[in-house]
Chain A
Amino acid sequence: MAFQSILFKDPRNVEKQLRTPPDFFVDLGLNNVAEELVKGLDEFNIEPLFYTPLDQTDEIVYRQQVFVDIENPRLMGAIRVFSDRFRMVLAYINNDRLYELQRQGLFLKAVNVYCGSLRDLAKALESGGIRSEGLQAFRDYLGNYLNTSEFNDLRTDAENTLSKITSVELCLTIKGGSISVSKCDGAVDYSEEVERVFERFMGSGTIGDEGVSKPIYIRGHVEEVVLEFAAKLYPDAFRALRDFYVKHKDFLNQTIARFYREIQFYIAYLRYIEPLKKSGLMFCIPRLTSNKGEVNCRDGFDIALASKLVKKNSVVVTNSFHLTGKERIIIVTGPNHGGKTTFAREFAQAHYLAKLGVPVPGSEATLFLCDTIFTHFERGEAVESLRGKLEDELVRIRNILEKSTERSIIIINEMLGSTTVKDATIIGRRILKRIADKDCICVYVTFVDELALTEGVVSYVSQVDVNEPEKRTYKVIRQPPNGLAYALALAKKHRVSYQDILERVKP
């Protein structure tokens, strides 16, 4: 089948895209990710792709393969360059603010950029060691197109016209409100002469741009006037320009234009994770499994939080998680602000991103191909009474339990805060029992250490540095709950002891 889409193996799936984000988007911080990802890409309407997880493994793999291919920085660079140039081409041919001769000139440029960008892209695809089904099909399509006589005519016409236009030279004299135009031979650069004379007392250092604003290039009617005069002085060149414009008006190939639009999804995602990778964080292509007992992710992190932290040059802490055998439920306990919620988000995000076919946080990951994710986070809106709050929470968890299947993932964050610890323990245990009966995967963040002692659950604990209890490590580690007291005071450390001074002052 001829190439059609780089996003969908079966192009009919394009129709199934959702217009609104899933319910858990905000709880998981994915709204921030999506917002930033699509920044400046309004024209491509990429959001629905992030709202629509793929359910079939072969569709997921179709995208994953493309990501593997463009991990090759040479190929990725080439695709980015292509995308930038194609964007320019579209901007050029849609420019309606120019006068006639200017528009013809810009059209010529558009075609030249177009031809160059396709040829460069084809070259990069040929030598890129491409393995993915999608890019292979596109490569073949593009190769064929470049060999058509339609394309070759376009290219040679464009080159010939260009060389005629760029050999035009003019001399302008501006005095008061008048401008005169003539041919110009053997002009001497006066700036150089001035520079030579002042050289003697100019200090070292280059002549910089500061203090002189950059002249603005205005393509207005004065330039059109100059071009009209130029057309009288150089009639040949301008006749060629007009003929080219008329002959090649509809030069754009629609399949390639679609590839350009769709590849933005990949570019946008890689652009988003690039600063994270630069800061030392890792991403990987996850393996998708239908076996809950082999879920595993190393060195993962909350992608939304990491993106914020990296911008502030803060350190991002990574965390690993895994489930083996019959393990389904993770209970996360530990000090407040210790990274518990972040850990839960990390877990759910990884599973969602995997279904989009994109690389996920972590050095390696095996993730469960779930049907959907449910989140139960504390609600912002005010509920009048503690009783009302508990009621609301329990209604929500009941709804989740009703809708979930054995292929669902449930994330519970700080539930039952409105009751006593004793009640929270009892009710929490009951809910855990129900989830266990469903056999679905669950991450349960709680202040109740006892829940982590429930039989059959896995306990993860957010860590604190014993020497510096004020400092949060944000590490969440698989271990029994510890219930340490953390309110240790710190002695001020000035590093001015005898030994410190010897170390700090270099001899």
Chain B
Amino acid sequence: MMLMYRDHSFDASQNQPWNYGDLVRDLDLKPIIETMAGGDDFIAQVVAKALVIGVDDVDTILYRQGVLEDTLRNIDTVRNIYAIITQAITEGRRRLFWIPNPNPESVVFDSVRTLEVYLDTLDKVREVFDASASQFKSSGFQNLIHSLDYQFDRNYLNSIRLMLSSLEFPSGVSVAVRLGDEAELTEFTLINPQRRRGLKGLLAFIERSRYTWDLPERDEAGAQEMGEMKNRGLERVAKVLRKAATDVLSLINALRTELAFYIGCANLWGALSTLGIPLGFPTPREPGVDTLGFSCLHEVSLALRMKAKPVCNDLGTVKKPLLIISGANRGGKTVYLRSIGQAQLMMQCGMFVAAEMFESSISSGVYTHFKREEDKELGGGKLDEELSRLSSIIDHVKPNSMVLFNESFASTNAGEGSELAKQTVTALLERKIRVLYVTHFYEFPLWFYENRPSLAVFLVAERKEDGTRTFKVREGVPLETSFAEDVYSKIFGDHTQDEERE
């Protein structure tokens, strides 16, 4: 309904991307989707798709940002329209008979009844918009209001209502037929039941030879045959009406879907601003330049889960295809990676982000490859499983995609793992794919540090002199130790470092 794209509707029936499960799990999208839904299952379904099926052009992102701004400003009106539509859809469903594979006669009957409901709804929606048209400034809402005014003006709706009442056939169904090559009745054509005849026509009609036969009582075979004759006459008009009803419904559904998305965004906006988290509209950059920069970026799900404002991170704008984040375990590396992944998805679906500032090049797809230590039931070796997931990603990535690796290949020893990481990343970079890689390996970041310094930004999880972690990530050269010993000693309270090393 042109609130999400300039020239077409958001297709809510499209499939989730193949890696939907990975994205939700790796980027922890569940709290975000739940907060957006606010208990409305329909909104949950829509945002679960819209959030991960981003758009890859700057114009559409800005278009949506405009609509979202309007929504935030007129949230009561938008919720009201959403309620009207939701109710109409329920009512429309109630009026259907729900016969499987219905015959033309019942299709005509059902379609007429549901069309009446849907057209009334559009009438109402148009009125609400007309009353507050000046409040909506975005081109998205303006386009919608214009198209409702144009397509469903009152005169047109009245002429349709008139036709719907004639399609109840108060004076019977009349059809013209011919005899076919086996003397069978064929070419059933429906005749206008309300056709006015002049006086002359009326006389001819009366004088015409006419034979009438009445169905005997309990002649069920005859009743069925007669019913099917009617069906043959109504077949074409049934298909037309069914398509009309389906199209109006899908129009209404499309509107509901797109409103659901924006209401979802507004819900999230409300929840995050209550926590005092800074929110703003990001700046999408053209794909291909590998721009990335932000200030005070939050990991949204962490905030929602904690119901508090967590630590945020900054990154002075860089234009490099590779980000390697290394350093202390439990130092906030995963949170950092997630926050970028979330912001990238939120930006690309047209939403705000949880940051004071965020800019990034548009990606032609976001993919995640996180280690899965919790998977105990998987058959085969862990490395085997990791490589097989990588292979699925390779099936789908294309230039300008973004791949987020989190401790990938950690299931093998550091030497082999580093080599796999190096090969994978080098090849991806050659294919113009952006890579963000969290690792505790030493050799892998070092190789890029020494051999491809111009391609990479190196970040480390911050650690103070006394060993405490700030959960902040800063630019810095790759560190040799991963502080696993620290974590170990914190938990076990001793210093058996030598034993810990394999």
Q: A: which residues have CB within 8 A of B?
A: 92, 101-102, 104-106, 108-109, 112, 162, 165-166, 168-184, 187-191, 193-195, 197-198, 200-203, 205, 207-209, 211-223, 225-227, 229-230, 232-233, 241, 492, 494-502, 504-507
Contact = CB atoms under 8 A, between A and B. Distances in A.
Contact of B209 (A183, A194, A496, A500): A183
B431 A507 contact: yes
Interface stretch (B238-246, B447-455, B494-502): B238-246
B378 to A, nearest CB: 13
A194 B237 contact: yes
Contact of B210 (A102, A108, A181, A221): A181
B491 interface: no
B75 interface: no
Given A178-B215, A232-B211, A492 B387 contact: yes
A499 to B, nearest CB: 8
A105 to B, nearest CB: 3
B236 interface: yes
A227 B244 CA distance: 36
Interface centre among B176, B209, B248, B250, by most A CB within 10 Å? B176
A227 B174 CA distance: 17
Contacts of A184: 176-177
Interface centre among A181, A189, A215, A227, by most B CB within 10 Å? A215
Interface stretch (B13-21, B223-231, B259-267, B436-444): B223-231
B183 A102 contact: yes
Nearest to B383: A492
B395 interface: yes
A174 B430 contact: no
B189 A189 contact: yes
A505 B189 contact: no
Given A212-B238, A505-B433, A187 B226 contact: no
Given A105-B179, A106-B182, A220-B225, 14 more contacts: A166-B181, A171-B175, A179-B212, A183-B209, A195-B240, A198-B241, A212-B103, A213-B101, A219-B184, A221-B221, A222-B215, A497-B423, A502-B430, A507-B432
A179 B431 contact: no
B151 interface: yes
B267 to A, nearest CB: 30
B235 A207 contact: no
B182 A109 contact: yes
A496 B243 contact: no
Nearest to B428: A501
Q: Which 5 A-B pairs have the closest CB atoms?
A: A105-B183, A175-B172, A215-B231, A501-B427, A177-B215
Given A108-B182, A496-B391, A222 B163 contact: no
Given A194-B163, A233-B209, A498-B427, A188 B191 contact: yes
A271 to B, nearest CB: 28
B225 A505 contact: no
A195 B237 CA distance: 8
A334 B240 CA distance: 65
A174 B173 contact: yes
Nearest to A105: B183
Contact of B208 (A106, A183, A193): A183
Given A203-B247, A501-B428, A241 B184 contact: no
Contact of A212 (B212, B242, B391, B432): B242
B193 interface: yes
9 contacts: A109-B182, A172-B229, A173-B174, A174-B174, A201-B152, A220-B224, A494-B387, A496-B394, A501-B431
Interface in B159-193: 159-160, 163, 167, 171-185, 189-193
Interface centre among A177, A212, A215, by most B CB within 10 Å? A212
Interface in B232-285: 232-233, 235-244, 246-248, 250-251
B102 A208 contact: no
Contact of B244 (A193, A201, A221, A233): A201
Contacts of A176: 172
Contacts of A168: 178-179
A96 B151 CA distance: 56
B476 interface: no
Contact of B185 (A180, A200, A207, A226): A226
A169 B193 CA distance: 19
Contacts of B228: 215-218
B213 interface: yes
B244 A174 contact: no
A439 to B, nearest CB: 57
A220 B222 contact: yes
B173 A173 contact: yes
B180 A194 contact: no
Contact of A180 (B211, B224, B244, B426): B211
Interface centre among A112, A166, A227, A494, by most B CB within 10 Å? A494
Nearest to B387: A494
A201 B240 CA distance: 12
Given A109-B181, A191-B190, A495-B391, A198 B103 contact: no
Nearest to A226: B185
